[in-house]
Structure 1
């Protein structure tokens, strides 16, 4: 059943002066409300998905603007309600005049995300897809765009809804056994139940594992540049960004705090973080900077260890690289000052670390393309990024996926140890609740308010 709620109106395009703006109206009577101050064809008599040119008028008959009005009849609209979209000139004054007339005629101003919330409530898509609308609008790279689009088209939620329904059927049978507790009967076939739970967990695990990558795709890959003082970290940051972002000096320890900026490579957003050089601090301020470097390294998704190829000692480099490896973070080894060392030393250092080193000259801006390619390749080794598979980018989704997996793990353990149906049903109910809250089949007003309040007004 489609519910047409009270009519709401809002600017659907970005605020500010532009050639065109679009004001959206949705809800019961949306077409009739617009028609009251539209001069042109009678909008209430027009077919759905048609556009009509005319003028919008003030109460005294004066023209507000010449507009193009597009109408959509329920249920064939974004919200599944009657919808009107008014394309007007992008003057802030005109937009406010139109919104004022709409509210005078009976509409109210929409709350953030209210159009998408109505679409969700009317079954246009599930909650994961609804959240993907906001992610799609906010996407600022090819990778984040593809991740949001995959979610909008159903992503993993459709598959989980099917599996959840199968689990509901089993839970119903397990709970039926509780009514015959003294007769020792089994309506739910235990082997089939175990297999279903294993199947669900096989779907969950790749999604859970994808969250670290998905979070980086959505928010940018935190890439911290570390190394000894005077290794050329600030020079490298400036060279990659092609601007003088960080102060460069021959004096060791110039960088006292972290400096961040963004770089887009092959559709992926990297958050580059220049840090204080790693050494024994000479004063309290430098000590704070080094502590922040270590914190950024712990939080990073990718570490770039930069060393001075001209002055570094082989044993010094070996120890430093071992420390980077022990951090457990994905990393790249980058040798700087390529223009100042010969092939023999370069090969010797390569042999010491026993893995690939990307050689550059930050000052001369040489071989930066190789470094950029290595950065991109390091992120794209993730299969989800390569194939366009569903990637979890939302912390709420991750929480419910892990909650489901934990509940199913307990249920399988209980099943294997022969727990009573009431204990088994309890864990299965927890799994169902997590799956239901994930896709929106179980919701509360507080949950919906929390999700949709983060949307922009007009979406």
Structure 2
């Protein structure tokens, strides 16, 4: 979607299904634009929608050009600027038949609407000042949220928590930028309107805030996308059985034959509001089987990229010394891991005590004994249990990149203050910092940036 063409088509009224496709109890068809109420009113039999107040709901029927009733519906009216898009909006609730939905949408298009493009409703909300760019991106995150934590973080951003913090930073910078720009107008008189000591203190404080926001991305990204955890170990130690126990379903094939799992198997569960993405992998061993060897290679790659590794061992087949060697190899990998000893029910008290120095979690994957304790340990390892999701948190890589660029520009300002340079160079670095901050909220935007963001939205949002 081109922002230039979007502005040229801003007078268009757009229509799309706002609920998921497929048959259901109800479906909601959304129209937005100057003619939204007029288009619906032309085929709606009930009250005259053009005379109704905003934020009211009306029962009636939708009829085609021949007078045939397509469905009994509820029409919800939102009059500009008091709507999501800040335009006239009508939401028509119909029965969830695919035939009904398609027929009504085609009818609205014949009456003058056009099909909406991905993200076009939210793009219009942004263009009309209903939200800034970071809030618009949070809308997509909110729709995609699949845990209490990711929902809360997206809701906090959509309501402007992140934007408000950036706004305060920009306002302070703009004040000093204006003072320095004023100095340029009096350059021949050698006057100084911007106190360099105060400016330095402000820059140091802003860099401190930026650093906190940048660091928050690691946790924010995990809350948004889930914690990737690889289940690894030698063949036949019970990895697939453990995955099934964690998911509480038969997700992976379990067999006594070594090398059954030859590729990665992924699934998610929610543990106390945090989403964990478990990845069952091929058993690690030397093999001449080309397909299994490829699976082992993928296992090692997944382990390197994982946030955490569950390394499962079978103490019945491997002696303590062999397990110790495997743990040493894991330490060299530099990926955090939890050592899990399977088949605890087959170990004597002395054998259990022997493993204690390795700080393992003892389980029986087959019976499920110890799985809840493992879940608790996972929460402890990823340090997410005590996160305050009400704090401002960065979850978008685009925002992190802009914050890093802002920080780099401000460090140039600090250098300019400590190694006196002319006001014009100082002003240029501050303007650059303001530019990067503005990219996050959309105060500075390009066609390509908006295309990239809104094209990822679902149609109807």
Scaled by the length of structure 1, what TM-score is found?
0.92
CA distance in 2, matches of 1:282, 1:388: 52
For 2:34, which of 8, 23, 28 is the aligned residue?
A: 28
CA distance in 2, matches of 1:9, 1:185: 58
Q: In the alignment, is the contact (CA less than 8 A) between 1:224 and 1:303 conserved in 2?
A: yes
Q: In the alignment, is the contact (CA less than 8 A) between 1:400 and 1:434 conserved in 2?
A: yes
CA distance in 2, matches of 1:336, 1:416: 60
Q: In the alignment, is the contact (CA less than 8 A) between 1:400 and 1:435 conserved in 2?
A: yes
CA distance in 1, matches of 2:49, 2:161: 38
Matches within 5 A, 1:150-229: 150-229=156-235
Task: Please name the residue that 1:367 is paired with.
Answer: 370
Structure 2: segments with no counterpart, 5+ residues: 1-8
Report the CA distance shift for 1:199/1:238 in structure 2 as closer, same or farther (over 3 A): same
How many residues are matched? 453
Task: Please name the residue that 2:3 is paired with.
Answer: none
Q: In the alignment, is the contact (CA less than 8 A) between 1:10 and 1:23 conserved in 2?
A: yes
Q: C-alpha displacement at 1:256, in angstroms?
A: 3.1
Matches within 5 A, 1:273-292: 273-292=279-298
Q: In the alignment, is the contact (CA less than 8 A) between 2:149 and 2:389 conserved in 1?
A: no
Q: C-alpha displacement at 1:255, in angstroms?
A: 3.2
Q: C-alpha displacement at 1:284, in angstroms?
A: 4.3
Q: In the alignment, is the contact (CA less than 8 A) between 1:4 and 1:81 conserved in 2?
A: no
State yes or no: 1:446 paired with 2:452: no
Q: Indicate the larger mover: 326-335 or 188-197.
A: 326-335
CA distance in 2, matches of 1:257, 1:339: 29
CA distance in 2, matches of 1:253, 1:42: 69
Task: Please name the residue that 1:58 is paired with.
Answer: 64
Helix, strand or coil at the partner of 2:276 = strand
Q: Indicate the larger mover: 21-30 or 207-216.
A: 207-216
Task: Please name the residue that 1:303 is paired with.
Answer: 309
Report the CA distance shift for 1:19/1:255 in structure 2 as closer, same or farther (over 3 A): closer
Report the CA distance shift for 1:186/1:25 in structure 2 as closer, same or farther (over 3 A): same
Q: In the alignment, is the contact (CA less than 8 A) between 1:233 and 1:306 conserved in 2?
A: yes
Task: Please name the residue that 2:412 is paired with.
Answer: 410
CA distance in 2, matches of 1:62, 1:218: 47
For 2:248, which of 232, 239, 242 is the aligned residue?
A: 242
Helix, strand or coil at the partner of 1:389 = coil
Helix, strand or coil at the partner of 2:161 = coil
Q: C-alpha displacement at 1:113, in angstroms?
A: 1.0
State yes or no: 1:328 paired with 2:334: yes
Matches within 5 A, 1:422-437: 422-437=424-439
Report the CA distance shift for 1:93/1:202 in structure 2 as closer, same or farther (over 3 A): same
CA distance in 2, matches of 1:247, 1:58: 53
CA distance in 1, matches of 2:294, 2:119: 42
Q: C-alpha displacement at 1:338, in angstroms?
A: 0.4
Q: Indicate the larger mover: 120-129 or 248-257.
A: 248-257
CA offsets per residue over residues 329-378 of structure 1, 9 Å max, x none?
33222111101112222222212x2xx32110112321111112222333
Q: C-alpha displacement at 1:441, in angstroms?
A: 0.8
CA distance in 2, matches of 1:337, 1:234: 14
Q: In the alignment, is the contact (CA less than 8 A) between 1:57 and 1:64 conserved in 2?
A: yes
State yes or no: 1:149 paired with 2:155: yes
Q: C-alpha displacement at 1:283, in angstroms?
A: 4.8
Task: Please name the residue that 2:352 is paired with.
Answer: 346
Q: In the alignment, is the contact (CA less than 8 A) between 2:214 and 2:394 conserved in 1?
A: yes
Structure 1: segments with no counterpart, 5+ residues: none
CA distance in 1, matches of 2:391, 2:330: 31
Report the CA distance shift for 1:46/1:251 in structure 2 as closer, same or farther (over 3 A): closer
CA distance in 1, matches of 2:56, 2:299: 58
CA distance in 2, matches of 1:455, 1:305: 38
